[in-house]
Structure 1
Amino acid sequence: MIEPDTKDWTWVLHQRCEDCGFEPDDVIGPELPVLIHEWVPRWESQLGRPDVRRRPRPDVWSPLEYACHVRDVFRIFDERLAMMLVEDDPTFPNWDQDATALSERYDQQAPSAVAEELRDAGADLAAGFAAVRREQWERRGLRSNGSAFTVRTLGRYFAHDVVHHLHDVTH
């Protein structure tokens, strides 16, 4: 059984993640589309692994489950970015990643379909970030717990998630 992740990861916006090496200051908003296009093939290669469905431990997701999560992260952050660009100080709907993993049966999905969906979701989010105008990078949005993001910090938070999970499946 996977224990739900209840940590508040917003600290990664201000300091290096010792687990994966992510440096938030290395992520510059307008570079996000290029980074997304670099990450997608790395995730696709993980989906081609012969052990794609094998969990390294019962309490750790398999590469397939992580890839499904990252695909959904692309989708969720695309929705949140769109909200921030058209609404003033929107509050994001809650997303329970652990409940989604169970209800969507991440462990049973077809790796080839996940690769295609991840590619499409990545392209959509990259296009979303590419369309952000200079004056929009400081627009705000809120999580339901009150954590505030700008478009810039939302991009950094998103980037950490993708990088951290690539580290999870490769180490």
Structure 2
Amino acid sequence: VGNIVEVWCPTPGQEAARDLARARADARVDLMRARHLLSKMLLRKGLVYPGRSAWTKAHREWLRSVELPEPAERLVMSEYLQQVVACEQRRDRLDAAIAELAATDGWRPVVSRLSAVRGVSTVTAFSVAAEIGDFSRFPSAPSFMSYLGLVPSEDSS
């Protein structure tokens, strides 16, 4: 008794939503990496943005004004910058797809409740909802916390 653990199998629609949320997370990682590659390439050349915040309109204008002496350097910088733009466009397309799906009847109730929490965007709320699936499968808050791995435990010798 009690040895069998119930499992939850997502529907094809829920699995597709999980894929969409994961693709958005991958796009975010790829964008961060592309930005990092460009920043580090410029840093190796001794070029540091003099402003406060990177990846703003002013930062992009500064990037366009950077002139590198070697043709190979100019090509590399151009490629890195194109990669940043491509990653941003990919992220934006996925954000739009998430916003569209989150507004449908199947997702709107849970996404709107989760996004009511301060600091939780539609993308974050949708990602949580897609990964968790049906919240009603957890009989209590402690069982949900256990599912997430947020249970206190002692780790001592």
- TM-score, normalization by structure 1: 0.26
* Higher relative contact order, chain-length normalized (CA < 8 Å, sep 6+): 1
Bigger helix fraction? 2
- TM-score, normalization by structure 2: 0.28
Larger radius of gyration: 2
